[in-house]
Every structure is written in structure tokens, then in C-alpha cells.
A and B are shown apart, each in its own frame.
Chain A
């Protein structure tokens, strides 16, 4: 069952991570692995620590214990802006668009960094505008005026500007119309084809199983189960055990 990536194929490896918010103990020793270019699902009920796991990897929350390794180097305790530069992209659950910045300016927050040539800039922008034509239409509109789905697209497009090696994607389809959901599904596939790894936190089980190669199940701040997505069915007993109401 364990089809975890070999050490040289490992991109992110977290082991025994404990995280606290003030005095509440959120993560109780989370361990998981994401391989290079691999799409990995992270499933579990609300409040089991999925989002906190992503935040901890991104450096937004500092783990009190445990190790986080990215491309063979320990990264726990590094500030998020350094991690973003090293190739971690983050798309938070609430999207966190810069509401007063235009769509273009939102993209520029990730694009304006040293080492990006003009040609590369154009390439990256053309790419997201091809996938998300709505964003091209609205490039001079303030982020706050976009619909929920458009904001989600912008959040993903903005992370793509960093040319990340992995995107930490937190509930991208939450509250979206079915048409938007399938668009998100498509972009996950596109990113996968391009070799970008994705750690996907989702409530949408069919989407997660279809989009990912492996899934982890979390319960009470721990990873309890681990499976190959193609071997699971949507009504699998495991799914009921960890997600059933």
C-alpha cells in the first residue's frame, strides 16, 4: 500500500510535527511525504488540522517539535517569504486576495522578484491568462470586486507566479459553482502535467481521489491512514470512517 516516493524523489517530508495555537495543541505529530510532481490529497473532517498542516509547512505557524524538510533541507522556522522564494506556493482556504490591488497587481506580488526576465514574465502571465481568461478580462479591476470563483482563480494564478515546485492548495472548490469546480479540477491537472507537486486539502472526495495519486487521512491532529487514490472508491469504508458524519 505504501507507494510513498523514494528518498531522491521526495520533495517535502514532514515528520512528527507538533503545532500549537497559544495553548491549544492542534497537530499531534503529523508525518507525511510529497514527491516531486506528485498530487497528494489530505482528507479529514473539519478541525482535524489539515489547514494547520499547510500553514506549518508554509512557515506561517512554527512547529514546536518535529522536522520539515524541503528538497533535502530543513525549513522549519524559516520565514514564509524565504520559503516562497524557494518554491513553495500557498493558496489559503479564504483565498486572501489583496482586495484593494488590481488583478494585475495581485499577480505582480509574486512576479516582481529578482531573476525574472521580461520574456519569462510575459510567458507566466500569458499562461495564467490562457487558463483563466476571466482574469485577463479583469486585469485592471480591484481584486475585491471579483466573484468567489474568480478570486479562487486569482489566488491560484498568483501562486503560480512564483513558479513553485509545490502548491499548498487549501479547499480550492469550497463554495464554488460546479462549472468553477471543474475549472479548478482542470488547473490541478495542468499543474500536475507541468511537474508541479500539489498538496491538496479538500472536502470534495471524488475530486480529490480523481486528481491525486495518494491520499492521507487525518484525525485529531494526526495522519491516521494513507492510501493510493486509484485503489479507493468514493464509498470505501475508509472514507466513511474518516469523513462520515
Chain B
């Protein structure tokens, strides 16, 4: 069988686009886990709420960009409120309680969306509709824009964490919560801020991804499942690892889709997950633990 070069190029582009969106969702998730050991089961619902707020603002304002910005801000505030009300009182308790709490929030948000917006999927109109020719395909520029914007947001986060005053606070708190406090860093507020940042990033991916799929109350489920796989494969709490894992898994799935149907290609990510857990449970993209 001849190697289908054209298909491989197309699927590479597809894989990178999906990978960047996934990386955006997963980096919020892994950041939250890294700093407060909370597995946020409501992350997919923050993604979904972001998409819905995007729909509402887009209808009201007519501008995709205003919708994106307002959605990120509102979901970040929602995330901050969520953290203060439900997670802050659970600090120091059994981690299981935070799983129950975030899972509870995810159910509430899902059902709120169902009640508010109904079961019919909404559509977000993409801001640019142009296409270019990729072999025999008309490929939408918008997909490349998503990848570029996701990369820009993740790059911004990286620079913030690396050089910003509050970025250093976040990294210090992630490494040693107690010592961070003893150095005058207001750890409870750092936790809230990180939750808000993670929520805002989920919302951004929700709005950006909205035009490719319909916006509905259950859209978070698929994504968060994949994001969890990525976070585990990339090494829990490891930001760079999650980004690498997101692109790696999306590419593998895209290539697999050349040979099997896309629905079957999803199996690839589970295979990677199982192999990772079996042979390198600390994560694929982290330095070998000492």
C-alpha cells in the first residue's frame, strides 16, 4: 500500500489544531491539580459554560471577539466564586471530598445549561470564513487561527508563570505551600487565582471550539475526558508535559483516522493511557523521577 502523503499532511494539520485546543483545556486542569491537588471534574462544564456565554454575547453584540473576551472573564469569575465557596472550605480534608464537590458542580452546571438553553445545539459563527486549498480539500483558515490563538494563550501563560510576580507566587506555592505562606505569599488567594485562570482558559477553548461543533450542555464531557487522559499521560500537574501529551495524542488519533474510522481512532488515546499507566505512571513527558 502506498503511503498517502497528502492524507498524512492533512491529518498532521488536523492533529495539531485539535491538539492545541486540547492543550488549552488540559493546561488549566493540570495547573489546578499541580497547585492544590484538586482534580477538577467540573472543568468540562467550565468549557461548556464558556461556549454558551460566547453564544449569548455573540448574539447580543455580533462580535466573536467581544464574545471570546467576555466569556473568558465571566467564566474566570465563576471559577473564582466556585473555588471560594466549595473548595476553600475543603482545604486539608480528604481529597475525595474535592472530587465529590467538583463533580457536584459539574452536574449543576450541566443541568442549568439544559434548563436554560434547551437540548438543541447552538451554533457559534466563526469570525473568519475564508478557506485555502490543501491538496484536494478546502481547508478553513479558522482552524489554523484556533491553533495559533491557543498557542498564543498558552505562550502567554508560560511567560506569566516564568517572569511575572504572581507567576513566581504560583510556582512557589505549587512546590511548597507551607513555605510559600511563610514567605508572605497569600496562598488561599493564589489558589483562587489559579482556579480562575484555569476556568478562563477552559472558557476560551469552549468559544474557540464552538464553531467546529455544536454548543450543547453535554459538550464538556468528551473534552474533559480527553483532557484527563492528556493530563495523566503528560504527568499530573506538569504543564509542559500536558501540552506535549495533548499534541502527541491528537496527532496519533489523527493518523489512526487515516486507516480506521474516526470513531475507532479514539481508542488510540485510551491505549496510550493504559500503556502510560502500566509502564510509566508518572507521565510520558516528565524527566525520569529520582
Contacts and interface: CB of A to CB of B under 8 A. Distances in A.
A96 B176 contact: yes
Given A105-B168, A112-B169, A98 B181 contact: no
Interface stretch (A79-87, A171-179, A209-217): A79-87
B186 A81 contact: yes
How many chain A residues sit at the interface, stated as a range, is 20 to 34
A98 B179 contact: yes
Contact of B168 (A59, A96, A101, A159): A101
Interface string B150-190: 00000000000000010011011001101111111111100
6 contacts: A80-B181, A81-B183, A98-B179, A101-B175, A109-B168, A109-B172
A70 B257 CA distance: 67
A56 to B, nearest CB: 13
Interface of B: 165, 168-169, 171-172, 175-176, 178-188
A113 B184 contact: yes
A99 interface: yes
Interface string A31-75: 000000000000000000000000000111000000000000000
Interface in A113-143: 113
Contacts of B178: 60, 80, 96
Contact of A162 (B175, B184, B188): B184
A112 B188 CA distance: 17
A106 B179 CA distance: 11
Nearest to B167: A105
A83 to B, nearest CB: 8
Given A80-B181, A81-B181, A84-B182, A98 B175 contact: yes
A108 interface: yes
A96 B178 CA distance: 9
B181 A79 contact: yes
Nearest to B164: A112
Contact of A110 (B176, B183, B187, B188): B183
Interface of B is mostly: helix
B176 to A, nearest CB: 6
A109 B183 contact: yes
A60 B180 CA distance: 11
B182 A108 contact: no
- Closest CB pairs A-B (n = 3): A84-B184, A80-B181, A96-B179
A81 B175 contact: no
A158 B180 CA distance: 11
A162 B168 contact: no
Nearest to A58: B182
Interface in A85-110: 85, 90, 92, 96, 98-101, 105-106, 108-110
A156 to B, nearest CB: 13
A90 B180 CA distance: 11
A60 B175 CA distance: 17
Given A105-B172, A110-B183, 9 more contacts: A59-B181, A79-B186, A80-B182, A81-B182, A98-B180, A101-B168, A101-B172, A109-B172, A112-B165
A57 to B, nearest CB: 11
A100 B175 contact: yes
Contact of A101 (B171, B182, B184, B186): B171
Nearest to A113: B184
B280 to A, nearest CB: 21
Contact of B165 (A96, A98, A106, A108): A108
A158 B183 CA distance: 8
B181 A84 contact: yes
B171 to A, nearest CB: 6
A81 B185 contact: yes
Interface in A130-187: 158-159, 162
A110 B172 CA distance: 11
B227 to A, nearest CB: 24
Interface centre among B171, B176, B182, B187 (most CB of A within 10 A): B182
Contact of B183 (A59, A84, A100): A84
Contacts of B186: 79, 81
B35 to A, nearest CB: 13
Interface centre among A60, A79, A98, A109 (most CB of B within 10 A): A109
Contacts of B184: 81, 84-85, 109-110, 113, 162
Interface centre among A79, A92, A99, A112 (most CB of B within 10 A): A112
A100 to B, nearest CB: 6
A151 B275 CA distance: 39
Nearest to A89: B182
